[in-house]
Structure 1
Amino acid sequence: MTTTIGILGAGKLGTVLAQLTTAAGYHVLIAGSGHVAKIQLTVEVLIPAAVPTTIAEVCHQADIVILALPLSKYQTLSPAALAGKLVIDAMNYWWETDGNREDLTNTHYSSSEQVARYFHKSHVVKALNHMGYHDLFDEPRLQGQPGRKAIAIAGDEEKYVEETVKLVDRLGFDPVRAGSLADSGKMEPGSAVFGANVTKKELKKLLTDFSKTKYGQ
């Protein structure tokens, strides 16, 4: 059976992720924050193979849910609605969008650890957050092609990290394991990894060198 991918967030990142996942052969549902009609035309023009629907339907029908919302909005979602699902956190903190939030900038915890605590019955993996949406759109390549770019993945549950590894590879990128959710801070804004549009070898080095940088100290 075809895996159903649900994307919550129909902005620039969510739209690109819907294009990538439909191109990779997944059945894709996408929802924005408002009424379905608000994204209907955008989806029909840019992602005709995707299905615009409600947040409730995405949560109900999708096998894998990708969070492409502003980080400050994840608590508007129901933890119960996503219970048991693989939830891929592609969100980042932006003060311009999210406001000055001490809870989202707590240096003792990565933002994904906070997301995982909220969705405590889900299986949260951090991925697809550090590469810009333009690069995500432009860079997919077949496995083994020269210059294939890499995506970092962090998570605490091997089964669900492996599912995410397979998804990232199918989307056209080399997956690179970055450690646990506690290590996902290496992928957040301010780190050398954030914004990186590099090969697997280069990405591994950036992750390894994280502790040597100002952000990692």
Structure 2
Amino acid sequence: MAHLKIGIIGSGSMGSTLARHLTRLDHRVMLSNARGPESLKSLTDEIGATPVSVAEAARAGDIVILAIPTKAIPILPAGMFSNLREGVIVVDIGNYHPELRDGRIEAIDRGLLDSQWVAQQIGRPVIKVFNNIFAQSLLEKGTPKGTPGRIALSVCGDATDAKATVLHLVDDLGFDPVDAGTLDDSWRQQPGTPAYCRDLDAASLRRALTEADRSRISAYRREQEARIRRSMRAEDRPASN
């Protein structure tokens, strides 16, 4: 793939991991967070990205990646996406966690999908990807194309050309790309579903996507949040001898 200009909004574990890999692929990466460019200088010097403001990341050029909590979407600078040129691809990698992090968002609780809500908030179509892989797996488990058991990542979106670009990018990052349909299909890879964060190969991921039950979206999310809570409590326990 030709070298792209990619802005990343959010420098947490997922945003920084994507920045690290994308600069390694010789894309021009502009990384931002709410604390400002100076807070990123050490990381960007290490990986070869450019520290910028959130607004500058949105104007990066070819792709903008939203790597922030769902609750932070409405507080992005007003009008930040309104003047982007037509071909800019916006990628949403987030997940809605109402009890653990985001608070209740009524529209999503009533049935609007996470990324459909994000697209409404920013006034731009989005591509959904990277929300169903843990940062550690994204950092360490990419492999060359054709590797047996290569982990697959599903991609959802309505714009065919934009989705094709992202599918290619997933492949370059070391994962088998799976076209999982339109944005209306993105619920199949939301938290707690059979396709969520299981490091599946392409055939297994496709099966997992078809096994998901749309009537259980809220239940999947509750069950996943309960698993996260149990994991957090276990990490807080003192080690036994």
Partner of 1:22: 23
Mind listing any 5+ residue stretches in structure 2 that lack a counterpart?
220-241
**Compared with structure 1, are the counterparts of its residues 184 and 27 closer, same or farther at alpha carbon in structure 2 (3 Å cutoff)?**
same
Which residue is 2:109 aligned to? 105
Alpha-carbon shift at residue 82 of structure 1 (Å): 4.2
The one-character-per-residue Cα deviations of 1:36-91 (angstroms, maximum 9, x if unpaired) are: 1122223334x2x1111111211122310111011111122323154532001001
Deviation string 1:82-135 (CA, Å, 9 cap, x unpaired) is: 45320010011123221233234332x211111122333x34110111100001
3-state secondary structure, aligned to 1:175 = strand
Answer whether contact 2:116 2:183 (CA < 8 A) is retained.
Answer: yes
Equivalent residue runs for 1:34-183 within 5 Å: 34-45=35-46, 47=47, 49-77=48-76, 78-82=80-84, 84=86, 85-95=88-98, 96-107=100-111, 109-120=112-123, 122-183=124-185
d(CA) in 2 for partners of 1:83 and 1:50? 23
Distance 2:143 2:109 in 1: 34
Write the distance in 1 (CA, Å) between the matches of 2:83 and 2:114: 21
> Partner of 1:156: helix, strand, or coil?
coil
* Contact 1:59–1:81, Cα closer than 8 Å, also in 2: no
Per-residue CA distance 1:172-191 (angstroms, 9 max, x = gap): 11111111111101111121
Q: Is 2:223 the partner of 1:211?
A: no
- Rounded to whole Å, the distance in 1 between the matches of 2:110 and 2:6 is 30
* Structure 1 residues not aligned, in runs of 5+: none
Cα 1:131/1:216, change in 2 over 3 Å:
same
One-letter amino acid of the structure 2 residue matched with residue 36 of structure 1: P
Q: How far is the alpha carbon of 1:216 from its aligned partner?
A: 8.9
CA gap of 1:43–1:157, structure 2 versus 1, over 3 A, is same
Q: Aligned with 1:151: secondary structure?
A: strand
Deviates more, 1:203-212 or 1:129-138: 203-212
**Code of the aligned partner of 2:136:** H
TM-score between both structures, scaled by the size of structure 1: 0.90
Matched residues, number: 213
Amino acid at match of 1:42: L
Structure number having the greater strand percentage: 1
- Could you tell me how far apart the structure 2 residues matched to 1:73 and 1:215 are? 22
Aligned equivalents of 1:168 and 1:32: distance in 2? 23
SS in structure 1 opposite 2:31?
strand
Is the CA contact 2:194–2:211 (under 8 Å) kept in the aligned structure 1?
Answer: no
- Rounded to whole Å, the distance in 2 between the matches of 1:44 and 1:105 is 41
Scaled by the length of structure 2, the TM-score of the pair is: 0.82
Q: Residue by residue, what CA displacement relative to the aligned partner does 1:161-202 show, whole Å, maximum 9, x if unpaired?
A: 111111111111111111111110111112121212110011
CA contact under 8 A between 2:187 and 2:217: conserved in structure 1?
A: no
- The CA deviation string for residues 5-35 of structure 1, in whole angstroms up to 9 with x for no partner, is 1110001110111111112221111001122
In structure 2, what is the Cα distance between the partners aligned to 1:101 and 1:114? 9
- Structure 1 partner of 2:223: none
- Which has the greater radius of gyration? 2
